[in-house]
Structure 1
Amino acid sequence: MRNLKFEYLYRDAGNYKIFGSLYIKNNLLLPLDYAEFQIRQGLIDGEYFYPQELGINLFSEHLNPSNIFDGWYEFEQISETEEVIKYDFQWQDFISRLTRE
């Protein structure tokens, strides 16, 4: 079974970027295009999300504290993966957190 990798980034006010990803167990065997459609429905303007909803924090020592914007993260892409991974979420839990249902 191919699972899903949700890739995102944090961009600070100085345009410094930090990339991250979450792994989602595709227990419903969703096609990739449908999974992306559902994700985009839950995003702000089809692109942004609040990281707190997913328990994400990418701040690091590389960021200038005066540039930190404690707000939205950007969705990069969703892809299928066969990597042997520890899953961050089951699909239903992920999408309900993202859409705050």
Structure 2
Amino acid sequence: MPNFKFYYRYRDGANYKNHNCIIFNNPNNLLLADVELIIQQKLIEDTWFYADKWNLPVLHFDKWDNEIDHTWHEFESIELTDDVGQQDIEDFLKAIMS
């Protein structure tokens, strides 16, 4: 069964963007639709999340403007991949559900 590739980004107040993706192993053969549903249910307004609360690397820029910048990240997508990850999808799902 393939693993999962999770894409997300940070967009600052001036619309500059940092992108990242994380590969999650899928040892228990979870279905993409089920994983995506869990993620969608935990997003803020169908798009946003706090990377640190989901145990993902924070993508903020070094230069911060308190007047326009914010702390949330944007979910882009999740897809199947044959790439090998460094953590299991179940651990990620537990983090976002707590």
CA RMSD across the alignment: 1.7
Match of 1:23 in 2: 23
Deviation at 1:19, TM superposition (A): 0.6
CA distance in 2, matches of 1:60, 1:86: 25
Q: Which residue in the other structure is 1:90 paired with?
A: 88
Q: Which runs of at least 4 in structure 1 moved beyond 6 Å after TM superposition? A: none
Structure 2 stretches lacking a partner, 5+ long: none
* Greater alpha carbon shift after TM alignment, 46-55 vs 15-24: 46-55
- With normalisation by structure 2, the TM-score equals 0.84
In structure 1, the residue corresponding to 2:33 is in which secondary structure?
helix
Structure 1 runs not aligned, ≥5 long: none
TM-score when normalising by structure 1 = 0.81
Does structure 1 conserve the Cα–Cα contact (< 8 Å) formed by 2:12 and 2:60? no
The percent of aligned pairs where both chains have the same amino acid is 32
The count of aligned residue pairs is 95
